Amino acid sequence: MANTPNMANTPAPNPLDQLRDIHLPEPISWWPPAPGWWILALAGCALTFWLVRYFYRRYKAKHYRRQALLQLEQVKAGSDPQEQLQALFVLLKQTANCAYPNRQPSSLAIESFLEFLRFSCKQSLFTQSNLELQSLLYAKQTTEPSPDLESLFEDARIWIKSHTIEDKLELGVPC
């Protein structure tokens, strides 16, 4: 009983002293990501790979056009109109062979070749008559360029830039 008076003298423990601070859970780490993020990352990588491959193939497929446009400028810089015109048709036939390797349009006569060029482009090009073209090609020219020659160069530039690719060219063309 001796212990009873001591217990009465000690104050009762305060229940608030027994409370502990709130412990927050660990923050969610950003690594490793959830499965949905993995799927999204893989889809993004696949799309990026496909786009790079698509644009690279497109760039390579149009290489002959860029080369032809550079050669066209070199031909246009020539001094003799007769040689310019002959070099222009050589360039157009080479470009047509690159664009349409299965059709071999360079083996056509000039009139048929021009018809093929008109057919393979959506724009109205090479509208000179055959007589005008024959006189430009085979008649003796002066040293000054004619307006017909300038229009032929412009038509050639437009055709090189915008002719239809072989896959989209319709069947039954004059070739």
DSSP for 32-82?
SPPHHHHHHHHHHHHHHHHHHHHHHHHHHHTHHHHHHHHHHHHHHT-S-HH
Which residue segment(s) compose the domain that 106 sits in?
Answer: 63-165
Domain assignment of residue 51, yes or no? no
Specify the pTM. Answer: 0.73
Three-state DSSP at 170 gives: coil
Residue 151 lies in a domain: yes
**pLDDT value at position 174?**
52
Of residues 170, 175, 160, the one with CA closest to residue 113: 175
Strand, helix or coil for residue 163: strand
Closest CA to 122 of 167, 169, 157: 169
Q: What is the pLDDT of residue 18?
A: 82
Does 54 reside within a domain?
no
pLDDT of residue 146: 72
Report yes or no on 6 lying in a domain: no
Q: Does the residue 11 lie in any domain?
A: no
- Please count the structural domains in the chain: 1
Report the C-alpha gap between 83 and 87 in whole angstroms.
Answer: 6
Task: Kindly state whether residue 108 falls inside one of the protein's structural domains.
Answer: yes
Q: Which residues of the chain have pLDDT under 50?
A: none
The predicted structure's pLDDT at residue 160: 96
Q: Is residue 114 part of a domain?
A: yes
Inside any domain, residue 88: yes
Q: What is the pLDDT of residue 168?
A: 76
